[in-house]
Chains A and B, each alone.
Chain A
Amino acid sequence: MSEETVELGPEIDPRIFDSKEFQKDPFPIYKQLRDHHPIYHDRFHNRWILSRYWDVDGAFQDNGSYDRAMYKADGPYDFGSRHVFGPNILEYGNSDEHRRLRNIVAGQFVGQKLQDFIPMIHQISEEVIDRFIDSGEVEIISQFASQVPIRVISNMLGLPREDEDTFVTWYQDLIAGLGFGGEHLMRGLNARNEMWDYIDPLIKKRSVDPGEDLLSRICTAEIAGSRMSSDEVKGFVALLLAAGGDTTEKAIANMWYHLMYTRPDQMELALSNPDIWENVFAEMMRFDPVVHAQFRYTTREIPLYNDVIPERAGVILYLGAGNRDERAFKNPDTFDILRDDLHMGRENRSGRYKDGKNGHLGFGIGQHFCMGYAMARQESAIACSKLAARVKKPRPKNMVHPGISSPSIDSGGFRSPEELIMEFDK
């Protein structure tokens, strides 16, 4: 952890974290946090905040001091009973149960298993583009970004293609169910239940007669003789839609947004060089990633910068702030797909790289490091490079754009623009 001295600065009114202003542009507050309050006690929401690169990294790495779980793995809580997805890995902290659930499926999203699905990702990207390419205009979120990942997942799972559109609807309702309020929750739960009824017989069938699809693989994958229960499989499928679908959708949208509005001068480079989309992905994940914050609970007292975070305190790890830390990146507020101080290649769980560069924190690090890191990167890069290859002279339809925003941090929402219209020559 960094032990730099802290210069006193202006106080931060904690109500700012609930404001529209912060949701739109959190970066000035992030800078104040890093410079003057690297450990910030938000008394209003009763939580603590870490914002410097090495402190966020350190907390992600430190399983002895920080845990993600709200409930004890061996306590009375019935895991999954309060979660819209049902039983899933996100409710677990650093427990054996977490390791079990993760290791059974993690191998399905990397290496050769992932490569098996790549041709399908190419094909789906082309099909989605076919639908609008003749019109000279595309609303990137609804017509492109939100279409590719969910169809890819549905195909990976081996669902019949004619059911793809139904699956897209369940997905949208389920994501809406993550918002606050009873109405949202009901919509999410309804969709979840319908989806589960649909998938239940498939699980039964593929558990005994597996094919090459992801659902079969999840049903039959074993670690140390243990498989997922049928409820766990269903919970995982629901999780896959949000953790794997919604995030990738927003990643794709944000990549285009930054080339259209933040760095239009680098658009040409991206259009003429299909390989550079991996850089666009990495720099997007640093500059303004889809997820800016992760929550942890302290499991012991943590002394830091002449202050102490108490035991059992809620802590926000602002990876979105760490990514803009001058202590880790030069000119951190510049979006640059050619930057030489960011690890542009594939991410990993340790956050350490042989090229000696710092990685972005956008997938988290350590115990809960994103399980879909390889898939998200490859899928985003493929989909975007396909689109880039097919549009001529793409340009924003509106010269001014309201920008990227995030829903309130408590809703767990992902950051993206609401609308993104691109015109191109036919």
Chain B
Amino acid sequence: MKVLVDKEKCFMSGECYYNHPELFRMDDDGYPEVIENRLDQDLLRHAEEAVQVCPAGALKLEK
């Protein structure tokens, strides 16, 4: 499982990296950078939450 960011859609709302610093950090331009792709059960739940909360629909989980 992997979190993917669609930079075309993302409008830098910041919700993913402020809510889930364990998964994302803000890069210099304001986009999220995925910092953890080994998703155990807990992190997977966080990732799903981030996907759900993203106001731009810019995040998705890839098998």
Partners in one complex: yes
A350 near B30: Cβ-Cβ < 8 Å: yes
Specify which of A110, A353, A367 is in contact with B30 (CB 8 Å cutoff).
A353
Residues of B within 8 A of A154 (CB): none
Q: A107-B53, A366-B14 are in contact. Are A352 and B19 (CB under 8 A)?
A: no
B5 at the interface (CB under 8 A from A): no
Q: A366-B18, A367-B18 are in contact. Are A350 and B55 (CB under 8 A)?
A: no
Q: A350-B12, A350-B26, A352-B30 are in contact. Are A111 and B55 (CB under 8 A)?
A: yes
Residues of B within 8 A of A349 (CB): 13-15, 18
Q: A349-B18, A352-B30 are in contact. Are A110 and B55 (CB under 8 A)?
A: yes
B19 near A348: Cβ-Cβ < 8 Å: no
- Count residues of B near A (Cβ-Cβ below 8 Å): 16
A406 at the interface (CB under 8 A from B): no
Task: Name B30's closest neighbour in chain A (CB-CB).
Answer: A352
A61 at the interface (CB under 8 A from B): yes
Residues of B within 8 A of A353 (CB): 12, 30
A-B contact count (CB 8 A): 42
Could you give, for residues 11-41 of chain B, a 1 whenever the CB lies within 8 Å of some chain A CB and a 0 otherwise? 1111101110100001001100000000000
In the docked arrangement, what's the CA distance between A11 and B30, Å? 37
B49 at the interface (CB under 8 A from A): yes
A354 at the interface (CB under 8 A from B): yes
Task: Name B32's closest neighbour in chain A (CB-CB).
Answer: A350
Task: Name A352's closest neighbour in chain B (CB-CB).
Answer: B30
Shortest distance between the CB of B34 and any CB in chain A (Å) = 16
Task: Name A367's closest neighbour in chain B (CB-CB).
Answer: B18
A224 at the interface (CB under 8 A from B): yes
- List A residues 111-158 near B (Cβ within 8 Å): 111
Shortest distance between the CB of B51 and any CB in chain A (Å) = 14
A27 at the interface (CB under 8 A from B): no
Task: Name A64's closest neighbour in chain B (CB-CB).
Answer: B21
Shortest distance between the CB of A1 and any CB in chain B (Å) = 13
In the docked arrangement, what's the CA distance between A130 and B35, Å? 55
A266 at the interface (CB under 8 A from B): no
A63 at the interface (CB under 8 A from B): yes
Residues of B within 8 A of A99 (CB): 19
In the docked arrangement, what's the CA distance between A350 and B49, Å? 19
In the docked arrangement, what's the CA distance between A330 and B15, Å? 30
Residues of B within 8 A of A107 (CB): 53
Shortest distance between the CB of B10 and any CB in chain A (Å) = 9
Q: A61-B26, A103-B19, A349-B18 are in contact. Are A224 and B49 (CB under 8 A)?
A: yes
Residues of A within 8 A of B11 (CB): 348, 354
Residues of A within 8 A of B19 (CB): 99, 103
| Chain B residues proximal to chain A, CB less than 8 Å | 11-15, 17-19, 21, 26, 29-30, 45, 49, 53, 55
- Knowing that A366-B18, A369-B14 touch, tell me 4 more A-B residue pairs with CB under 8 angstroms: A61-B26, A103-B19, A223-B49, A351-B14
